[in-house]
Each structure stands twice: as structure tokens, then as C-alpha cells.
Structure 1
Amino acid sequence: MKNLNEKQILNLIIKKMGSNNVESHFGKDDISLIPLNYFIGKESVSGSSLCVTCDMLVEHTDVPPTMTFEQIARKSIVSSISDLVSKGIKPKCALVSLGLPSNLTEGDISKLVDGFNLVSKEFKIEIIGGDINESEELVIDCCMFGVSFPNVFVPRRNGAQIGDYIFVTGVFGYTASGLKILMHGIPSPDPNFEKESINSVLNPTPAYDFGISLAHYFTASTDSSDGLATALYEISKQSGVDMLIYLDKIPIPSNLKEFSLMNNLGFNDLVFFGGEEYHIVGTISEKSLYEISKNIKENSKFSFFLVGKVAKGCGKVFVIDTAGHKEILKNKGFQHFT
């Protein structure tokens, strides 16, 4: 694709195909919500919506070295799960379509199926069908469904308010580091850092329980599948606000700085621009912070970090270092065709 990157292609599609009839936030959010009475016209389901998301895994861009077929299958499903649970929607079923190269063996395909079985049991999702075709490389397309119910708030990307707190649900830096280690064999500060980094790439885990339990407290949310910077900018631009991010508040591995220096890698690149962490990035009001904090004390599994505040503005993200210096964060992350 010589002239357009992924975001520009998406904007072109939105311009030409954005729905006028269904409040689906076509192309502007992780998921689309389609009122059920749009399909069946019954007032009894008024307020309930079908929640849909889809994601495509393509071998040459999404499958790093050493990833097994079971792990490939799991990752293809986890990416869609992450979109739904970041909005508090429990995934219920999925359609999975496969593009399979002719050189795959029966054993390879059997391992893929094993991976689908394992992830469906792990997250209690029914895979109800799909399609199979021949392709030059492995392609997995997952379309996943859930339901939102009346009087249950579903946060979008455009709800952040001035004065809200900005939060994340996991550590940043492992995934970008793990991909560098897998792709280039570069050294690590210690074996545990290498193990954690590689595992974050091969076995990503969405913030399932946190999102399902607490998303109704969020004012805005998305996931970090395209990088922390991209997630922050999506919320700030669609909400029409600025974001102030305190660098020392972002949860990072203790030896990430050492890893970046020993391999001549940009520290901010590893933290902000890696992608595929599948953490939730969102905003909450001061009132909701009290309620969420109370829930976190009762559930030790929840991971939650306040990293900044929402300010008056027009869609910019600023990073403030420990000395108080403020600079604008680059708006970049993982994009295809770049």
C-alpha cells in the first residue's frame, strides 16, 4: 500500500460507509453497539444491544518467531476479547474464519484447533462457525459477539471529562521488549526480564475480570492493542480534551531502562509505542475512583494504576517527567502499511 497507512484507509472507509441508521460508532471505537429492536422491532428488548467486534491476525505481521500454533489461535481470539471487556461486555460467541496456506500439515491444523478449544474454555466463549479458504499465509479473522443490557452504561472513547483520572490496568514495556528479543535475539538484563517479556508476547492476557466488573464506572475506555500512545490519543481526540501523563506513574518493569540502554533502544518507544499489551486504558471521575478503589481492595487479582489527569484542551497528550518538564507525546503506535 504505497500511499495510505492503516489509519488513513480506515478514515476513507468511515467517510464512505459510516452508518446513518444505527448508532454503531462505525470505525470510531473498539466495538459497535446495535440496538436489538433494530433487528426485530420489539419494545421488549428496548435498551439492549448486540455488541460486535472483529480482528484479523495475519502471519507475517502478527506472528513472531517461536509462537506455536496453539498460541497463534489463542492470540487471534484474545484480541477481540480485549475489545469487548474494555467496555464491560462479556464475550459470548464468535465466528472464526481461516485462511490456510497449502503447506500446513494435518498436525499443524490440529494444533490450531486445540488452541481454539483451549481459549474458548478459558474465557467461556462458544465458537459457533466461520469459513475456510486457501491463502498464501496463515490468516485468522475473528468476529465476536456480546450483549449490553438496559440501564448498564457502556463506556466509549468519547466520554472523558475535564478533571477525570487516567488509568491503566497493566505494565508497559514488556511486550515491545519481548518482540525485540524474539525478532533480533538481543540480550536482556536478567533471565526473569527475558522470560516475562517473551511470555507477554506469546501469551497475552486481557484485563477480563477488571473490565467485566468495573467498566460501568469508566467515563471512557479502550485497550492498548495498538500501543499506549495510540490509546491515549484516541480517547483525547474523540473526547475533545487534553491528557497529562506523569511518566513516573506509568507501571514499567524495574529493569526496562537498563534493557533500553544496553540495546540502544528508545525508552519511550518501549513504553508508549509497542502495542499488543491488551491492557485497558481509560478515564474515571473522582467519585468513581472511590468505588473502584473499594472493589480493588476486595479483589487482589485486579491491577490498576493512576497515570494522569484529563485537562481542558483539544486532543493532545502531554508527558510530564519527574522534574516537571512537559512535552507533547508523539501520536504513533503500531499501524499496518507503515
Structure 2
Amino acid sequence: VMPSFFLAVMILGLPLNLLSLSVFFHRLRWTRSTVFLLNLTLADTSWLLALPYLINYHLDQLYWKLGQPLCMAVRMFYHNYFYLSIFFVTCVSVDRYLAIVHPLRSLVLLGRRQTGLLCAAVWAASLILSAPVVGMSWIQTCPGSNRTVCPLYMLLSETGESLPYSLFCSTVGFLFPLLSISYCGLRSVRELSRRPCCRDPLGKKRRLRRVLSAALVFFALFYLPYHLIRNAAIVMRAVYPHSPASWRRADVAFALEMCFCSLITCVNPLFSCFIGRQFGKEFQGTIAVLFSRWPCTQVASMTSKRTRMTGRGRPRMSAVA
């Protein structure tokens, strides 16, 4: 199931994200939100480009043939991607908060240079947060066979390192961003409610609710179940260390959750369209241009034009006749 699902995600997600990158680089005016959404798209694209290694691994019945360095890199990058996605979604929410609650200060706090430095800091912090995965991603040989596997750290039988690390990542990489998004959204709504004479307050409230609701839906659908199931899989190993049968349900649930969370790479371009009005218009326009260049579309348009011309050129019968 997993390789088929990952392959479908790659086939759908890679064109969407490459198209998003084209829109960002060629058709958009640069703003702070645009920079954050661009980095979110770069994270999606880089993860999708690494996905063939996981597809090949699962197609080979969990037989890892690519060596220790690639095992470490793929596992760390898979872990790192989730937190990059969370952090940049949080950055978009904080940016809207600063623009509404502290409009003048936001120009100083998040100028072009500061925004670029913040994005670089997010990439660095996410890599540092995911670095311990390298030390827990050692290739193992299955007993009774020569098959080597590249295990996930949360599925290791020893939980002395994996459980504290998973709880730490859940707190720093999930709980704190969720609290930040909730705080920024509530403060921004309250600030707009205090401005009865400001221009188009309802429009700003509507856009702010869209940002907040989209971010919270992301957290509720993807990130919350992922962290709950991941921690549950490790806790089951800590509570029942000598009963592998009791881990099975949690492991199956985590495998399904991995498949479901991979859909984030396909949903993020839609998230960017939902958040950024300019990006949404340019993205839809680019898709319309691409579809208009397809041969079948051109044939259909030519046929419709001929039909209209034939209808116009055909002589009408007089009322007397």
C-alpha cells in the first residue's frame, strides 16, 4: 500500500509544487508572506525529490540496499520536512498578526533582509532539531537472513533515546507553534474588532479568519494525529518491551498516518492559493494557460470556433417562407 500511495503523491505533488515555484519566481511580487510560502514550497519539492528512495525501499520488501549514509539522510530529511512545514505555516500566521496588531513595527521587524534571515534560521533550526535522527538511523540486519533494513527511530525496540526525543520534538515543533498560531489569530481578531472606523474591516476579518482556519485545519488533520500516533507507537514499546504483538496496532496506525501525512505536499499549493489572493490568481492563470496549450484543448477550441462561424454564416429563413 505504501509504495503505491507514495508514488501517487509524487505524481500529483511534484507537478503542483514545480508549478508553484514557477509562479513564485516569474509572476509574483515579493512580500513577506510570499517568501514564507516559497520556502514552504521548496521544502515540499525537496521532500518529493527524495521520495523515490522510500518507494524503492518499500517495493523491495523493506530491503535497504543504498548504504548507511543514504539511510541516515533519508530518515533525517523525512523527519525534518514535517517541522519545516509546521514552522513556515506558523510564520505566515505570525506575519499576519504583526501586520494587523503592530503594522509599523512589523516593517522594522520583518523587512526584506530580516525575512530572509528568519527563513534561513527556520531551515537551520529544523535541521538541528532533526539531527539526532541520524544517530538513531543505523542499518540493521534481520535475524536469520541477510536482509538489511533502514528503520525509523520511533519503531526501534529500545526507547531510552527515542521516547524523550519524540516528546521534545512534539513540544518544541508542534505544541509551541500551535499555541503561537492560536494566540496570533485571537489577538488579531480582537484588534480588528476594536477598529470600527477602519477601512474595510469586514474584509480584513474575513481574510484573517481564512488564514487562521486554514492553519488550524492543517494542524488538526495532519500534524496532531501524526504526533499522537508517533508517541503512542514509542510508548507501547516502552510499556510492553517484551511483547511485540502489542505494538502491531500502533505500528499499523503509524504506517497509515505516514501515508496520510504525505498528502501535505499536495495540499500545500492549495493552502498557498487559499492564503495568498495574488498567488491564487496567478496559479489559476498559469494552469489555464497550460491547459490551453494541450492538443486536445486546441482541437476542442477550434471545433467550437468553426461551429460558431458556421452558425453565423448559415442563411436565415425568412418569416414569409
TM-score where L is the length of structure 1: 0.27
The structure where strand makes up a greater share of residues is 1
